[in-house]
Homo-oligomer: A and B are copies of this chain.
Amino acid sequence: MKRIKVSNNVIRRLPRYLRKLDDLKANGVSRISSFSLGQQLGLTPSQIRQDFSCFGEFGQQGYGYNVAALRDEIASILGMNRGFKAILVGVGNIGHALMDNFCFSEWGFTLAAAFDIDPAIVGTTTNGVTVRSMDELLDYLADNQIDVAVLTVPKEAAAAVAKLLCDNGIRAIWNFTNVELTEPNSPTLVENIHFSDSLLSLGYFVAERYDEEAAHAARLERMEKAKEQ
């Protein structure tokens, strides 16, 4: 597949398309128009056609999209069929939650190993993955081709562990530490899960709603007063 530079916004929508198409497939829908897909995702049909046109021609004018075929195309664009291997570093609450509940294989990843410094955690097994000691990390990275490191160490350790990983061949980090890891223009790919950004955005929308309701109530009150006069 030839790659063209695709905007970040389009890339960020691909997983949403994938989830929706999985959902449609599970519900027995085999074909869908860009209009109907757009309606279900809160996007315009032309937005959807434009997004997909970045990667080729998937639909047929007047017939819509084949759900299964489109789903597989998007999965392939996302690299889900490449057999990516991940390791997880830091088996605290979040690390353990991911090992326990997050189905890496559903998204095309194998969680190959996990590492921690705590002797009480080293040696425990979750979902078939046994936690190794951090002492084994460098040997492990030397012996295995790993595509992504999931970074779930405490904040204080984030920068040092990230550097250790990058110095030993890791070029992509899924970062749960809420610490900005890289300088601009660093060659390491970092994808951040910023819980706080998400909560703050929600806070914005809540505040906006309260303001709108207050403004609405004030308008009603002014109208009532005007009537009384």
Contacts and interface: CB of A to CB of B under 8 A. Distances in A.
A216 interface: no
Contact of A191 (B39, B106, B189, B202): B202
Interface size for chain A: under 10, 10 to 19, 20 to 34, or 35 or more residues? Answer: 35 or more
Interface in A170-221: 171-172, 174, 180, 184, 189, 191-212
A184 to B, nearest CB: 5
A84 B16 contact: no
Contacts of A195: 98, 102, 193
A205 B193 contact: no
A98 B14 CA distance: 28
Interface stretch (A26-34, A73-81, A112-120, A161-169): A73-81
Contact of A100 (B93, B109, B194): B93
Interface in A12-53: 12, 14-16, 18-19, 23, 39-40, 42
Interface of A is mostly: helix
Interface of A: 1, 3, 9, 11-12, 14-16, 18-19, 23, 39-40, 42, 77-80, 82, 84, 92-94, 96-98, 100-102, 104, 106-109, 147-148, 171-172, 174, 180, 184, 189, 191-212
Given A77-B207, A79-B203, A193-B198, 20 more contacts: A1-B211, A14-B204, A15-B200, A15-B201, A19-B180, A19-B194, A23-B180, A39-B184, A40-B184, A78-B201, A79-B204, A82-B210, A94-B94, A102-B195, A106-B196, A174-B198, A174-B202, A189-B202, A189-B209, A191-B198
